[in-house]
Structure 1
Amino acid sequence: MRAQGLSFSVDSGAAPPEPVSAGARPVAARGTRLPAWLCPVCLAVLDGWTMAAAVFLTGGGPLPGLAAAAVVVLNGAGGLYRARRAPSLLTDAPALLFRTLLVCGIAALLRSDGPAWLWTAALCGTVQLGARGFVNSAVRGYRGRRSRARPALVVGTGGTAAHVLDVLRERGDLGLAVAGQVSAGEPDDTPGGPPGAVPVLGADTDLPSLVEEHGVETLVVVAEDVPPDRLDAVLRMSFALPCETLLVQPPSDVVPVVPARREYLAGLPCARVEWGLRTPFARCAKRMLDVVVASLALVLALPVLVACAVAVRIEGGPGVLFRQRRIGLGGEEFVLLKFRTLKPADEKEADTRWTVKDDERVGRVGRFLRDTSLDELPQLWNVLRGEMSLVGPRPERPHFVEQFSRTCPGYMLRHRVPAGMTGWAQIHGFRGDTSIELRARLDNHYIDHWSFTGDLRILLLTARTVLFRDPA
């Protein structure tokens, strides 16, 4: 069940826009396309095979396989197999040759080959550079000749965006066909546009519906032509969109863009916005952490759970568990479990009244459970059910979600990921009656810069805070 007013998209309600005019490359029906992973896999196989062959020819032994694996892992960690709109051999060459020399040098030391490693490195580096140049040329040729390019939306309507549109029209090797532009908060922009120009299909708030309507696979956000107060919202909105996001002229302090992974789009700095939790591997790793840790915690904490349940029953009578509707991933409602620390007057009070720290109705057991956070332990069952995660933004009641979404910018973007038992905001003291705006900022920062090791750190800091009453 979805709470009222919690949709991420804003449908314009307008009729479908007219086909793209002559100024843009036509967007035809979907055609057969080579899988996106094919090029990176080919490059990895070529690099590994070349290294193994070079080491084998200059000495043999058991090292060729290890050397091949090492160079592929190092190149992958350095981003040399990442997808790019404009692959460049000159950009890749220094990093590729450095890793080749490193692996060949280590192989030579292990075999005591002396100067033979120079021949190995020269042979391997030459073949690798030649193979990469051939693959890059083949990719550009494929993108330029295929009948169906990737539909793209350009966000921004200023001078830099106009230059980007010209580049995309002229450079077929980039593999993008512009479906239209999207205005980003400029008051004078309205759907349409002069004859021969790429049409403005709507505002940035219409992005979810426009992406779905036009089958958009690439979102090109021109940072220079997006007002600063809208850029964060546009980029965070792209988190939930089923397309890649390219940021042109990326600022250094807004999104998780690794400087080493920047590229150039006809001279303009461009970066692929890579959200950690967008990848299936990351989501699977996070879910596995939830299942393993929650299962172990439930088993180890079973005596504590029983003791808490008995204490609550003795102090307050029947009804050990407190059930309450909360909002989780994508604005979906679920029933959150807690140990009951007080009995509300009625259901309306429980759903609409803010928690009061020194409520006189809270007994000694309830106060102890709240102070030690033991009342939250039943939520481990919510985690096992997949309704929550161990780490994430704390879920709130529908009444307050609707209220905060109207008054706090970016609040709804917290629901891009599952709600959590603890989070980045909680370990920094934002619990209970604290600033909602700052809490939302910290929650969104956690989502933007998520990492598996970051989740582990938050769990350890939470354990330290609970066990030693030591603020993180």
Structure 2
Amino acid sequence: MIRKNERFLTQIYALADFLTIQAAFLLAWWLKFESDLIPHVAPLPLSDYAIWSFVYGAVALGIGFNIGLYVPKRKKRFADEIFKAVQVHLISAFVLLSLLFFFKAVDISRMYLFMFFVGSVCFISIYRYMVKSFLKQFREKGYNKQFVLILGAGTLGRRFYENLKQHPELGFDVVGFLDDYAVEHERKHIHYKPILGTVDELEEILQKTLIDEVIIALPLEAHLKYGDIVRTCEKAGARTLIIPDYFDILPSKPYFDNFAGIPLINVRDIPLDEMSNRTLKRGFDLLFSLSAILITLPLLLIIAVGIKLTSPGPIIFKQERVGLNRRKFMMYKFRSMKVLSGHSSDTQWTTENDPRRTGFGTFLRKTSLDELPQFFNVLFGHMSVVGPRPERPYFVEQFKEEIPKYMVKHHIRPGITGWAQSNGLRGDTSIEDRIKHDIFYIENWSFLFDIKIIWKTVVNGFLNKNAY
């Protein structure tokens, strides 16, 4: 049973957010129009600004409730909570600006609005962090506990219990286990919480013991009991959660979908499967790649001349790679090696002191300047600015047999840079580590994540000690 105070706390959060927004409004007003810190002309009456502040607060609360900001947060990460809060205020800011335009409120100070938006986000982040820290300490001391009963003392149940012990700040206390093989489990694992009885004794246990949540961690062969277990828990007012016995094959964030009225577990939820996200990413790709080409055009011409003067052959090297949905495309690079047969370049790794490289090509590879033509791949839709790096078909066939989940990277467009590359996994580095980073990126994509990766790539520099 989720205690009623959690619903009350979410209402308190909403009220606190609204009051915080009004506090940010007053501070922004004072800084802009009363403090003499910022030059200003005679402002509109305070009441005019106050009206829009109330409108903004109401819009932010409405959007917050709509996208799940005001839900019980015991199991939520603080970073996720703040990210959602930033989303709420970005959308609310857009709505407010649209309303100002519609009602022709052109005399509202834009500097004031900027300070108001920034102040709202900062204040809400600070007070929520303080509340989160207080609740963490409060729960670690044993207050506001939620009591958990685990059905199944086997591998699944014990693993859940061990994981839960690592997070005392969540405030969950395991009362014990129910299992039909109590003697066997207690003999092997005497350090765990007690086994209070068999699964059939669940109703009796719920009647005499305060239990908030029942975790079903039974093996698949016990699935016939699930219906009775859920009905028993709901009769007692306890919340029921099921850990699938096949959870090891699920991603870190499984997604429940619905198809033809039947609930389905989406084994890998990919944010870029949504049209709105794909459109946003593609629009950014077009704008960024076109800007990059225009800015680096003089450099592109210099590199082209340098290649022509230092070795015979074409300026651009085209090589087949595997991209979105396993479709093949020709990826462009500045040629950094002597002209070779296609089979040789498609099936061999470059090595340190590789005799196939040209002198100028070595410089291009070390500085990653040979990758610049890939912005044209982005324009043509073969690639994205950010995404997993594409590989040659020969090695894709090899890696998919050797590295688990290798082919997952092809669910989205490949990129010029990626989460793996921005963390130093470039050139001659572990393929397994790269795939782990790629899958994390695929499952956690956001527009801000892309910006972070681009920023890390720029800050870390383009020199690559592992590029041969």
Instruction: Provide TM-score, normalisation by structure 1.
Output: 0.50
Instruction: Specify the alignment match of 1:330 in structure 2.
Output: 325
* 2:386–2:416 contact (8 Å) kept in structure 1: yes
Instruction: Specify the alignment match of 2:226 in structure 1.
Output: 163
AA matched with 2:244: E
User: 1:322-358 CA distances to partner (integer Å, 9 max, x unpaired)?
Assistant: 0011011111111100000013531111111112232
Instruction: Specify the alignment match of 2:57 in structure 1.
Output: 70
Instruction: Specify the alignment match of 2:445 in structure 1.
Output: 450
Identity over aligned residues, as a percent?
35
* 1:327–1:333 contact (8 Å) kept in structure 2: yes
Q: Does 1:296 align with 2:296?
A: no
User: 1:379-425 CA distances to partner (integer Å, 9 max, x unpaired)?
Assistant: 00001111100110000011111110011001000111110000111
**Alpha-carbon distance between aligned partners in 1 of 2:360 and 2:465, rounded to the nearest angstrom:** 22
294-303 vs 336-345, which deviates more?
A: 336-345
User: 1:140-172 CA distances to partner (integer Å, 9 max, x unpaired)?
Assistant: xxxxxxxxxxxxxxxx9454686269969xx9x
Q: 1:377 to 1:164 in 2, by over 3 A?
A: farther
Q: 1:461 to 1:165 in 2, by over 3 A?
A: farther
* 1:430–1:439 contact (8 Å) kept in structure 2: yes
Give the alignment's Cα RMSD to 1 decimal.
4.4
- Cα offset for 1:298? 0.3
Q: What secondary structure is seen at the aligned counterpart in 2 of 1:418?
A: coil
Q: 1:335 to 1:245 in 2, by over 3 A?
A: farther
Where do 1:22-421 residues align within 5 Å? 67-77=54-64, 79-81=65-67, 157-159=220-222, 163=226, 223-228=243-248, 230-232=249-251, 235=254, 275-421=270-416
Q: 1:61 to 1:296 in 2, by over 3 A?
A: closer
**Alpha-carbon distance between aligned partners in 2 of 1:242 and 1:303, rounded to the nearest angstrom:** 56
* 1:222–1:247 contact (8 Å) kept in structure 2: no
* 1:161–1:225 contact (8 Å) kept in structure 2: no
**Alpha-carbon distance between aligned partners in 2 of 1:304 and 1:436, rounded to the nearest angstrom:** 32
User: 1:185-234 CA distances to partner (integer Å, 9 max, x unpaired)?
Assistant: xxxxxxxxxxxxxxxxxxxxxxxxxxxxxxxxxxxx96432152x12399
- Cα offset for 1:469? 7.2
Instruction: Specify the alignment match of 2:460 in structure 1.
Output: 465
Ranges in structure 2 where 5+ consecutive residues have no aligned partner: 1-13, 19-46, 73-80, 86-91, 93-218, 235-240
* 2:285–2:379 contact (8 Å) kept in structure 1: yes
AA matched with 2:310: E
**Alpha-carbon distance between aligned partners in 1 of 2:464 and 2:427, rounded to the nearest angstrom:** 16
Relative CO higher for 1 or 2, CA cutoff 8 Å, sep ≥ 6?
A: 1
- Cα offset for 1:286? 1.3
Q: 1:405 to 1:76 in 2, by over 3 A?
A: same
* 2:422–2:457 contact (8 Å) kept in structure 1: yes
**Alpha-carbon distance between aligned partners in 1 of 2:410 and 2:324, rounded to the nearest angstrom:** 5
AA matched with 2:282: R
**Alpha-carbon distance between aligned partners in 1 of 2:428 and 2:352, rounded to the nearest angstrom:** 8
* 2:271–2:443 contact (8 Å) kept in structure 1: yes
**Alpha-carbon distance between aligned partners in 2 of 1:302 and 1:244, rounded to the nearest angstrom:** 54
User: 1:5-62 CA distances to partner (integer Å, 9 max, x unpaired)?
Assistant: xxxxxxxxxxxxxxxxxxxxxxxxxxxxxxxxxxxxxxxxxx9xxx9xxxxxxxx978
Q: 1:341 to 1:469 in 2, by over 3 A?
A: closer
Equivalent residue pairs, number? 275
Q: 1:296 to 1:445 in 2, by over 3 A?
A: same
Q: What secondary structure is seen at the aligned counterpart in 1 of 2:250?
A: helix
Q: 1:278 to 1:223 in 2, by over 3 A?
A: farther
- Cα offset for 1:279? 2.6
AA matched with 1:67: F
Ranges in structure 1 where 5+ consecutive residues have no aligned partner: 1-46, 52-59, 89-94, 104-155, 172-220, 249-254, 256-272
Q: 1:427 to 1:164 in 2, by over 3 A?
A: farther
AA matched with 1:324: Q
- Cα offset for 1:278? 3.1
Q: Does 1:425 align with 2:420?
A: yes
- Cα offset for 1:245? 7.5
Report which of the two structures shows the higher radius of gyration computed on alpha carbons: 2
**Alpha-carbon distance between aligned partners in 2 of 1:235 and 1:335, rounded to the nearest angstrom:** 34
**Alpha-carbon distance between aligned partners in 1 of 2:303 and 2:366, rounded to the nearest angstrom:** 13
**Alpha-carbon distance between aligned partners in 2 of 1:449 and 1:318, rounded to the nearest angstrom:** 42
**Alpha-carbon distance between aligned partners in 2 of 1:316 and 1:242, rounded to the nearest angstrom:** 61
* 2:290–2:379 contact (8 Å) kept in structure 1: yes
Q: What secondary structure is seen at the aligned counterpart in 1 of 2:251?
A: helix
* 2:366–2:463 contact (8 Å) kept in structure 1: no
* 1:337–1:382 contact (8 Å) kept in structure 2: yes
* 1:160–1:224 contact (8 Å) kept in structure 2: no
AA matched with 1:442: H
Instruction: Specify the alignment match of 1:189 in structure 2.
Output: none
AA matched with 1:225: D
User: 1:232-264 CA distances to partner (integer Å, 9 max, x unpaired)?
Assistant: 39949x89x99998779xxxxxx9xxxxxxxxx
**Alpha-carbon distance between aligned partners in 1 of 2:459 and 2:465, rounded to the nearest angstrom:** 6
**Alpha-carbon distance between aligned partners in 1 of 2:247 and 2:343, rounded to the nearest angstrom:** 41
AA matched with 2:318: R
